[in-house]
Structure 1
Amino acid sequence: MGKIFEGIDENLKTWIQRQPMWFVATAPLSDQGHVNISPRGHDSFSVLGPNQVAWVDYTGSGVETIAHIRENGRVCLMFNSFDDRPRIVRLHGRGAVHLPGEEIFEKVVALHPEHPSTRAVISVQLTRISDSCGWGVPVMEFAGERELLRLQAEKKGAAGMEEYRAQKNSLSIDGLPGLPASM
C-alpha cells in the first residue's frame, strides 16, 4: 500500500502543511545512546524544494535533535493525519543545524511568525520519502496550539532564554555537544 516518492510535489506539500503536529526522530552513533523522538507543532515547517525541508527549532528542555544531527546527520520526520483519511508520511534524510546569522537560518525564520523561543533552524536533504496507510492512527480533532512555549520565552526575556539554553541546551542527555554556550 505504501508509495515511495521521487520528491515532494505540490499535493504532498499541501498535505504536509495541513498537519498540525509532526515528529522528529534521531539517534546518536553509540548503541549506548538514547533514541529521541520529539513532537513538533506551530507554524514552523517549510518545504524548500522537492528534496529539501527545514523547520524553525524552538528552545526546549533538551537538545537531542540538534546534538544527534551535529554528530551524524541522520533524521526521520513523520507526519500523520488524525482526520478521517488515514495516512502516514515519512521523510528520511541528512540534517544540518543552522544558527542565527547563517543564510538558511534567516531565510527559514522569515517564512514563519516571529517566536521568542527560536534557537536554530534545522534543514534536511531528503534521501527517502514514503507513505503508508496509517490505519492504526486514531481519529482526533485539533483543538489549537498551546501558547506556553511563547509565554515562557516572553517571561524569561532574551537574556533569560540565553541563560536557559546555556544551562539546558549545551549538552544532550548522552553528553553530546548541543548549542554553543552563548548564541
Structure 2
Amino acid sequence: MGKQFTAIDDRHRDFVARQKIFFTGSAAAGTRINISPRGTDAFRVLGANTVAYRDLTGSGNETAAHMRADGRITIMFCAVDGPPMILRFYGHGRIVLKDTPEFDAMIASHFDGEAPLGTRQIVVVDVDFVHTSCGYGVPLFEHVGERASMQNFAEAKGEEGLEAYRREKNAVSLDGLPTGMFDA
C-alpha cells in the first residue's frame, strides 16, 4: 500500500491542506526521540522539496537541539476524517531564529506577515523522501476547533515573560543538548 516519492506533488499538497494536525519526530545520537503534535495553520509547503512551520514557545525545544546536533526530522500527517492515508516527509531541518533577517523575510513571504505572540523560530525542512501509507489503522475523529491555551499562555507571559521562559526552558534539550537559541 505504501508509495515512495522523491518530491512533494499536488496530491500531497492537497492532502496537507485538508489536515488539522501534523506530528514532528526528531532525535540525535544518544538522545530521546521527540514526537510533537502541531496545528497545520503554522505549516507551509514552500516547494517540491522544502517545507517549513512556525514554531511556538513550548515547555521544551527538543526539535531545535536535534536539528543542531543531527538535522534528521520526519513530519507526519494522518487523515482522521475522509479517506484514510498517512503522509510522511523525511529530511533534514534547520532552525531560523526569531529576530533575524531570514526569519523576518520568511514570515513576510510565507506566513502572510504574521508571527503570533510566542513564535520563537521557524523550522525549515529539506525533504529528500516522501512516503504514503494506507492509514487504515488511524481512528476517525471530528475536528471541534483550536485550543486557546497556547495563545492565552503567551498573552499572560507577554514578550518579556516569554523571553525569560525560553531562557529557562528552551536553551537546552531534555538530554542537555544546546538549542542554539541564545548563542549570540
Settle same-fold status: TM greater than 0.5.
Answer: yes
1:77 maps to which residue?
A: 75
Task: Identify unmatched segments of 5+ residues in structure 1.
Answer: none
How far apart are the structure 2 equivalents of 1:65 and 1:127? 18
2:3 paired residue number: 3
Offset, 1:38: 0.3
- TM-superposition CA deviations, 1:66-92 (whole Å, max 9, x none): 100110100000000001310000100
Preserved CA contact (<8 Å) 1:89 1:129: yes
Residues of 2 paired with 1:6 and 1:27: CA distance? 23
Per mean C-alpha deviation after superposition, the further-off stretch among 123-132 and 107-116 is 107-116
**Could you tell me whether the CA contact under 8 Å between 1:166 and 1:182 is conserved in 2?**
no
Pair 1:88–1:147, CA change in 2 (3 A): same
Structural mapping, 1:62-73, within 5 Å: 62-73=60-71
The answer for the alignment partner of 2:13 in structure 1 is: 13
Distance 1:143 1:57, change over 3 A: same
TM-score (norm 1): 0.93
- Seen in structure 2, the aligned counterparts of structure 1 residues 182 and 116 have a Cα distance that, compared at 3 Å, is farther
Name the counterpart of 2:152. Answer: 151
Q: CA deviation at 1:179?
A: 4.1
Moved over 4 A (4+): none
Residue-by-residue CA offset, 1:113-172 (whole Å, 9 max, x unaligned) = 431010000100011101000000001100111111111101111000000000000010
AA aligned to 1:16 is V
Moved more, 161-170 or 35-44: 35-44
Shift of 1:180: 2.8
Structure 2: runs of 5 or more not aligned: none
- The CA RMSD over aligned residues, in Å, is 1.6
